[in-house]
Amino acid sequence: MGSIPKPTLLSPLFLKILSNLLLLTFGWSRPALPSPATATTTTASSQGKVLVLFVNAISLTDLAEAPTPTLHTLIKQGALGLANVRTGGAFSPENAYATIGAIDRAVGSSRAGEAFVEDENTEHGRAGQVFARSTGITPPPRSIVVLDYPYLLRANTRFRQEAGLGALGEYLTNYGKIGAVIGNADTEQPGREIALTLMDKRGIVYAGQVGTELTRDNPRKLYGLETDYHQVLVAIRALLPAADCLLIETGDTSRLEKGRDLILPARRKKLLHAALGDFDAFLRQLRPEIPEEDLVLLIVSAYPSREASTQGDTLTPVLAVGPGFAPGLLYSPSTRQPGIISIFDLQSTLLAAVGLKTPDRFQGRPLSSVPHADPLGYLQKANARIIKVNKDRSPILKGFVVLQIILILSALTVILLRPSSPFYYQLLSMLLPGITSVPLALLALPLFNLEGVFKISLYLIFITIGVGVISFHKKLAAPRLPGLLALVTALAVLLDTMAHSPLMKESILGFSPVGGARYYGIGNEYLGILLGASVTGATILMDWTRRKTLFFYLSILFYAAITYFAAAPWFGSNFGGGVSLSVTYLLIMLLFSRKKRSRRRIIFTALAGAALIVTVFALIDLFNITGEQSHIGRFAANIRHHGIQAAAPIILRKIRMNLKLLEYTIWTKALLSFLAVLLVLTYRPSGKLAEIAERYPLFLKGFWSAVIGSIVALLVNDSGIVAAATSLLYPVMTVLTIVVGDLSPAEHM
C-alpha cells in the first residue's frame, strides 16, 4: 500500500475485478464492506477528551516540505488523511467553521469573526450587551458571543431549510459536555471565526478565550501580528482540565491566507514555513501537557489556500493521534476510501472521543485508522492522481456534452431540411453511434494511464471514429452497433460496480472526492449511463435475434443484477438510482407482457414495485451495524427515530441541489437537447416513430421506458439533471441513427 495502484491488465486492480467475477460465478455470498479489518475505532463508550488544533490553509505538500520535526514524528505515531472540506460557499474560515458546527454545508458572513467574550469591549459597547440587543438573550458570564448570529441564521436558511448552525455545540451542551475554543486569526478586523464551531443554537460558546491577549506584535509578520503561543499554552492549561472538547485556532497560517494579496508568492512561502516552524515549536511544548491515555489530538486544516484551490488541490490534511488511532491512514465509513474523509466526520469523531453517539441527523461517522507504512507518501501520490483527474474532468466532459449537442442539432437539421447530398447522412451515421462509445472509453481510461486534456481527447477521438467506421459494416447497421455498444457498456459498468467501483473512482465521468457528492458505489453519471445503455442494448438484442422469450428471461436476470448492485448498500448504495432503475425495468416487463393494461396502471404498478424494492434495501441496511450503514440505512434510521417528517430536509436538499445544477451544469444543455429530439421526432418525419415501432417494437418500448426512467432519475436524485441527461444518451442517439439512416438518399438508390 505504499503507492497508488496503477490499473493495468495484469495489475491488482484488474485481478480484483476478475476475482470478484469468479466469486460471483462460483458461489457468491454478501461481501463485507470495504472497511479495514484491523482498524481500531474510537467508540462512543470512551469517556475521554479531544483537542483540535486548526492549522488552516495548508496543503499536503506544505505539510511534507515544512521544517516541522515534531509534526512529522506525530504523523508516524498517528493516522493521516485528506478531508473534503466543501462548504455551502467558497473555501474560507467563516464557511469552514460554520460547516463544522452545523448539520449541513453552511456559510458564514463577512462579520462572522466578530466573536467576543461577553464582558469584552467593542466599538458599540460591551459584547454581551450588543448581543442582547440583537437577540434578546443575556449571555452567561465569561461566555463567548457571536455578534453576527442573527444574520448567519438568515444566510443559512434556504428553501425553508436551515443548515443547522450550532448543532454540534448544542448537542455537546445538552449532554453535559463542556466545549471551549481558544485563539484568533485577527488582522485589522477580528478573526474569531473559530467560535462558529462550538456555538449553540443561540450563538453562544460557554467557555474559551479568543481575545487580543493571544497575539503579540511582530513587525516582520503580516499585519504586524503573530500568535503568542505562550499565552495559548497558558489558556490550554487553564481550560483543558474542565473541558471535554477544546478547539484551538493557531492563527498564523490563517492570517497569512487572509493577507495573501498583500505579499509576493515567494514571500508567502517563506512566511508559511516560518509559521509552521513556530507551530511545530508549540507542539513540542504542548506534547508533555497532553494526557495520552484518554485524549485524542486532531490537527486539521479546515480549508485550503486560494493558491492550492487554483491548482485543484482542495483536499486538506487531517492528523489524528491518540486512543483509537494506530499509525497509518484515516478511515471513514462515510467515504469507504482509506485516507479520504469528509469534513462532517470531524464532528462524529469529536463526539465519539467524549463518549457521545453521533445523532442520525449528522452526516459524518467516527474516524478510525488503517495501518500503512508510509501514509504521507501514499497520500501524496493519491492526491496527485485526484488533482490530475479533477483538472481533466471539466474540459473533457464539457467537450463531450458540446459534441453531443452539435451532433443532435446537426441530426435535427438534416431531418428537417433533407439535404440531397449523401455525405451528411453518412457522416452522422458514423458519428452518432461513435459518440456512444465515449462513456465506455472513459470508464476504461484508468487502465491506460493517460493524463492531460490533449492525450485524452486524442484517445476519445480515435475510439469515436474507429467505432463510427465499424458502423458501415452491413451486419452492424443501425441499430445493431449502437445496441452492442450499449450492452457492452452496461456490462462494464455493472462489473465495475460489483468490484466496488475501482475504475469509476478514477474515471473522469465517475464520482470525485473533490466534489464530495459521492465517495463509493455508482455515481449519477454512470447511473444514467447504466440505465439507458442496459435498456437500449437488451431490447435491440431481442429485436435483432427475434428470440424474445430467451432474451426476455436473460434480461430479467440482467436487470435484477443491475438493480441489486446499484442500490444495495454494500455495493452501489445509490438510493435514487435504485428507484430509477426499478421503475424503468418494471415498465419494460409490464410493456412486454401480453396482458393489456392501461398506461396509468402500468406506470402506477412500476412506481409501487420500485418503492417496494428500495424499501427492502433500506430496511436491510437499517438493521446493519450502525458504523457500516450507508446513507440509505441512515435515512431509514432517521425516519424510524424521528418520523416521516425527518425526510423533509433531505428532499429539500435534493431539490436545492437540482435547482442549482439546473442553472450551472452543462448537463442541463444536454438534457434540453435530448428533449428537443423527442419533441421533433413526435411530429417529423410524420409517422416515423410508429414505423420504428413496427420494425423494432421491443426497442421502442425500451426507449419510452428509458425516457420515463430519466424523468424519475431527475426527480429522486440530488444530482438528477446529470442522471437524466446521461440516461438518454443511448436511446436518443440510437433513434437518431435509425432515422438518419432511413432518410439517407443512398438508401433509396
The enclosing domain of 52 has a CATH number of 3.40.720.10
Domain assignment of residue 165, yes or no: yes
According to the model, what pLDDT value does residue 716 have? 79
Domain assignment of residue 21, yes or no: no
Tell whether the model's pLDDT for residue 626 goes beyond 70: no
Distance, in Å, from the CA atom of 146 to the CA atom of 164, rounded to the nearest integer, reads 16
According to the model, what pLDDT value does residue 158 have? 66
Kindly state whether residues 505 and 360 are assigned to the same domain.
no
Tens digit of each residue's pLDDT (9 = 90 or more) over 255-293: 999 999 999 999 999 999 999 999 999 999 999 988 878
According to the model, what pLDDT value does residue 748 have? 52
Domain assignment of residue 593, yes or no: yes
Average confidence (pLDDT) over 342-353: 96
Percent of the chain having pLDDT more than 90?
Answer: 61
According to the model, what pLDDT value does residue 43 have? 39
Of the three residues 344, 373, 402, the one that is the final residue of a domain is 373
Distance, in Å, from the CA atom of 26 to the CA atom of 388, rounded to the nearest integer, reads 38
Tens digit of each residue's pLDDT (9 = 90 or more) over 405-433: 999 999 999 999 999 898 999 999 999 99
**pLDDT band at 14; cut points 50, 70, 90:** very low
Distance, in Å, from the CA atom of 137 to the CA atom of 101, rounded to the nearest integer, reads 20
Distance, in Å, from the CA atom of 674 to the CA atom of 664, rounded to the nearest integer, reads 18
Kindly state whether residues 336 and 413 are assigned to the same domain.
no
Of the three residues 373, 403, 423, the one that is the final residue of a domain is 373
Domain assignment of residue 447, yes or no: yes
Tens digit of each residue's pLDDT (9 = 90 or more) over 362-400: 989 999 999 999 999 999 999 999 999 999 999 999 999
**pLDDT band at 125; cut points 50, 70, 90:** very high
Domain assignment of residue 244, yes or no: yes
Kindly state whether residues 307 and 421 are assigned to the same domain.
no
Q: Which residues of 618-638 are buried (b: 16+ CB within 10 A; e: fewer)?
A: bebbbebebbbbbbbbbbbbb
Kindly state whether residues 290 and 398 are assigned to the same domain.
no
Kindly state whether residues 583 and 534 are assigned to the same domain.
yes
Tens digit of each residue's pLDDT (9 = 90 or more) over 38-89: 334 333 334 799 999 999 999 999 999 988 999 999 999 999 999 999 998 9
Average confidence (pLDDT) over 624-649: 56
Distance, in Å, from the CA atom of 326 to the CA atom of 62, rounded to the nearest integer, reads 23
Mean pLDDT is lowest, of 442-456, 569-583, 624-638, for 624-638
Tens digit of each residue's pLDDT (9 = 90 or more) over 140-188: 999 999 999 999 999 998 644 568 999 999 999 999 999 999 999 999 9
Tell whether the model's pLDDT for residue 738 goes beyond 80: yes
Tell whether the model's pLDDT for residue 110 goes beyond 50: yes
Kindly state whether residues 368 and 401 are assigned to the same domain.
no
> Pick the residue with more confidence: 496 or 630?
496
354, 49 contact by CB (below 8 A): yes
338, 35 contact by CB (below 8 A): no
**Number of domains composing the chain:** 2
> Pick the residue with more confidence: 12 or 203?
203
712, 535 contact by CB (below 8 A): no
555, 542 contact by CB (below 8 A): yes
Q: Helix 480-498 crosses helix 453-470 at what angle (to 10 degrees)?
A: 130
What radius of gyration do the chain's Cα atoms show? 28
Contacts of residue 663, defined as CB under 8 A and 6 or more positions apart, other chains included, come to none
Tell whether the model's pLDDT for residue 232 goes beyond 80: yes
Domain assignment of residue 23, yes or no: no
> Pick the residue with more confidence: 641 or 299?
299
Kindly state whether residues 516 and 444 are assigned to the same domain.
yes
Average confidence (pLDDT) over 9-30: 40
Q: Which domain holds residue 87?
A: 40-373
Q: Which residues of 349-387 are buried (b: 16+ CB within 10 A; e: fewer)?
A: bbbbbbbbbbbbbbbbbbbbbbbbebbbebbbebbebbb
Kindly state whether residues 369 and 429 are assigned to the same domain.
no
According to the model, what pLDDT value does residue 582 have? 86
According to the model, what pLDDT value does residue 121 have? 92
- Please name the residue that has the C-alpha cell 507504512: 373
Tens digit of each residue's pLDDT (9 = 90 or more) over 593-602: 777 766 677 7
Sheet strand arrangement including 204-205? 115-117, 144-146, 204-205
Question: For residue 555, which of 574, 571, 539, 576 has the smallest C-alpha distance?
Answer: 539
**pLDDT band at 17; cut points 50, 70, 90:** very low
Tens digit of each residue's pLDDT (9 = 90 or more) over 316-333: 999 999 999 999 999 998
According to the model, what pLDDT value does residue 451 have? 86
> Pick the residue with more confidence: 28 or 236?
236
pTM score: 0.84
209: buried, middle or exposed (CB in 10 Å: 19+, 13-18, 0-12)? buried
According to the model, what pLDDT value does residue 520 have? 82
Mean pLDDT is lowest, of 562-566, 645-649, 697-701, for 645-649
Kindly state whether residues 349 and 399 are assigned to the same domain.
no
According to the model, what pLDDT value does residue 517 have? 74
Give me 548's grid cell.
424474445
According to the model, what pLDDT value does residue 264 have? 93
Domain assignment of residue 26, yes or no: no
Kindly state whether residues 137 and 225 are assigned to the same domain.
yes
Given CA atoms 516, 316, 50, 226 in this order, what sign does their dihedral have?
Answer: negative
Mean pLDDT is lowest, of 113-117, 495-499, 626-630, for 626-630
**pLDDT band at 307; cut points 50, 70, 90:** very high
**pLDDT band at 225; cut points 50, 70, 90:** very high
Kindly state whether residues 573 and 635 are assigned to the same domain.
yes
Of the three residues 315, 343, 373, the one that is the final residue of a domain is 373
According to the model, what pLDDT value does residue 623 have? 54
Average pLDDT, the chain: 85
Domain assignment of residue 258, yes or no: yes
Where helices occur in 259-316 by DSSP H, the ranges are 265-286, 306-310
Distance, in Å, from the CA atom of 357 to the CA atom of 175, rounded to the nearest integer, reads 11
Average confidence (pLDDT) over 713-742: 89
Kindly state whether residues 345 and 455 are assigned to the same domain.
no
According to the model, what pLDDT value does residue 351 have? 96
Tell whether the model's pLDDT for residue 217 goes beyond 70: yes
Percent of the chain having pLDDT more than 70?
Answer: 85
